[in-house]
Amino acid sequence: MSVDQKMRAARQAIPAPRHARKRLALLFTAVALVIAAVVVLAVVRSGPPGGTSGPVPAAAPEAPVAVAPDSLEDKIQSLLDENSEYRIGLALADISGDAALTFGNQEDFTAASTAKIITAAAYYHLVETGEAALDDPLGDYDAAFQLQAMINESNNDSWLLLMDAVGYQELIEYAASIGVTYDPEENLLTPAEMALVLKQLYAGDLLNPDNTAELLSYMQDTNNEELIPGGSQAGIEVFHKYGEIDGELHDAAVLAYRGSTFVLVIYTENADGTEDDGQAEVIRELTGVVEKALFPPVQAGNNAS
């Protein structure tokens, strides 16, 4: 072998220069950091806002964790058929999904106290725009007290004070701004409209993180935990607002379990104008059917007595 040939062979055997290897390592590191940043951003954007004044809901992923099986519609319809003496409307929505699935009657119901969520959100909105304050006097107490009493205890005097503070026309306009047709003097909503309100509330689309967390905290351990919470399975976190008036009994809730979050609204009406125990029971039964379909496997046990 000639000297030139030996030199060429030696050059080919020499490994890549250290600075070239360093550039390659830096390139791989940069790519890994970009991927990590994208993942972190997706997680942050997918979860609802946190806050310091109440429980922080479980994060809702961008893609649904649980998907309702085809059999769910059949099971819901079977329960509706078994309780045909009542007018029942149900709406179900994934927090991270599109429009709600609806079952049963989807005409207007008298929303009763479930509509207090709209009034609360409207007042908090005024606070956030600087047009009201939580320490503004309302009745014998301040607005913060009345908000908690209206939601957690379903106090109607607090509701009237807060509606007056917002203004009836302003409340109509606020509801329209979030996609809901609502007149407080008529107090009519469909299950799907109520589901839209709760979906936006939990996702943080209505209020800032602190006010969202505070309002959601009032929707736990309320003065009536016998409807959707009563039918909910162990381990599922429930935020809800019930309502009852003249034979109508409703509950509207957010259900969160292991990062998957759904809105469930069940409105019922007894045609004779009087509420009976069967309405509460069918709300609990529907809750159980929906949860078992959406959150498999859920911890064993049921909170209903």
Q: Is 166 exposed, middle or buried (0-12, 13-18, 19+ CB in 10 A)?
A: buried
Q: Which residue has the tokens 């009406």?
A: 269
Q: How far is CA 288 from CA 82, 253, 264, 292, in A?
A: 16, 13, 11, 6
Estimate the crossing angle of helix 277-294 against helix 71-82, to 10 degrees: 170
Q: How far is CA 28 from CA 35, 37, 151, in A?
A: 11, 14, 53
Question: What does the alpha-carbon distance between residue 146 and residue 137 come to, in Å, rounded to a whole number?
Answer: 10
Indicate the pLDDT class of residue 97, thresholds 50, 70 and 90. confident
- Residue 40: what pLDDT? 36
Question: What does the alpha-carbon distance between residue 117 and residue 151 come to, in Å, rounded to a whole number?
Answer: 7
Q: What is the pTM of this model?
A: 0.77
Higher-confidence residue of 267 and 23: namely 267
Q: What is the mean pLDDT of residues 99-123?
A: 96
- Residue 69: what pLDDT? 67
How many residues make up the chain in this entry?
Answer: 305
Question: What does the alpha-carbon distance between residue 117 and residue 252 come to, in Å, rounded to a whole number?
Answer: 10
Comparing 35-49, 146-160, 184-198, 260-274, which segment has the lowest mean pLDDT?
A: 35-49
Answer yes or no: is pLDDT of 299 > 90: no
Q: For the residues of 42-74, what is the DSSP string, one character each? A: HHHHHSPP--SSSPPPPPPPSS-SS---THHHH
Question: What does the alpha-carbon distance between residue 202 and residue 272 come to, in Å, rounded to a whole number?
Answer: 35
Comparing 70-74, 119-123, 143-147, 244-248, which segment has the lowest mean pLDDT?
A: 70-74
Asked whether the CA dihedral 178, 180, 181, 184 is positive or negative, the reply is negative
Question: What does the alpha-carbon distance between residue 166 and residue 144 come to, in Å, rounded to a whole number?
Answer: 14
**Dihedral angle, C-alpha 165, 171, 177, 183, nearest 10 °:** 170
Q: Is 215 exposed, middle or buried (0-12, 13-18, 19+ CB in 10 A)?
A: buried
Structural contact between residues 212 and 55, judged by C-beta atoms closer than 8 angstroms: no
